[in-house]
Amino acid sequence: MKNQYKAIVGLGNPGANHYFDRHSIGFRVLDQIADELNANWKTSGDFEYALVSYQGLNIILAKPLTYMNNSGLVIPFLKKKGVEASQIIVVHDELELAFGKVAFKVGGSAKGHNGLRSIISHAGTDTFARIRYGIGRPEQKEDVPDFVLQPFSEPKNQVDNVISSAVQLLYSHIA
């Protein structure tokens, strides 16, 4: 029996100037889901959320607007809605996967990802699921902070195709 996921959290940095950054891919994946399911975003405090219905399941989409390092501040809102950490899927960029790869994973460490570190610290556990969107890794480790805050160098249609793959992977795990 599949876990009944009740929330999907997309990680990113707020503002139009960050929307196309590699680090904000979680926002773009959630925006595609919201578009496909005709959801409307609402703002509440430090996050945006939308309520969607997919194959009879009610799911909260949430985008923290606190910048990556404080993404976990969305967790208290989800807890108030009765959502446990094990019922959350977090969509995030992943340096350890080559561009074009998307993968599903449950639990694990933050591996240096500050957004995941914040989610773990607020959730009190690492039992949430993840959709990992591969962005590749720069050759030099010291280039990582600039790399994640830059737009993709790959053509837009390739980025959009991988976003669609991430959305389909999400749908397969929530239905």
pLDDT in tens, 52-80: 999 999 999 999 999 999 999 999 999 99
Question: Alpha helices, DSSP H only, in the chain?
Answer: 25-36, 75-80, 114-123, 144-148, 156-174
By C-alpha distance, which of 20, 120, 31 is closest to 72?
Answer: 120
Active site residue 23: yes
| pLDDT over 80 at 2, yes or no | no
Q: Are 35 and 68 within 8 A, CB to CB?
A: no
Tens-place pLDDT, residues 142-172: 999 999 999 999 999 999 999 999 999 999 9
Catalytic residue among 18, 23, 92, 173: 23
Helix (H, G, I), strand (E, B) or coil at 87: helix
pLDDT digits (tens, 9 = 90+) for 6-25: 999 999 999 999 999 999 99
Token duo for residue 93: 């960029």
Residues in the chain: 175
pLDDT-derived band of residue 1, with 50, 70 and 90 as boundaries?
very low
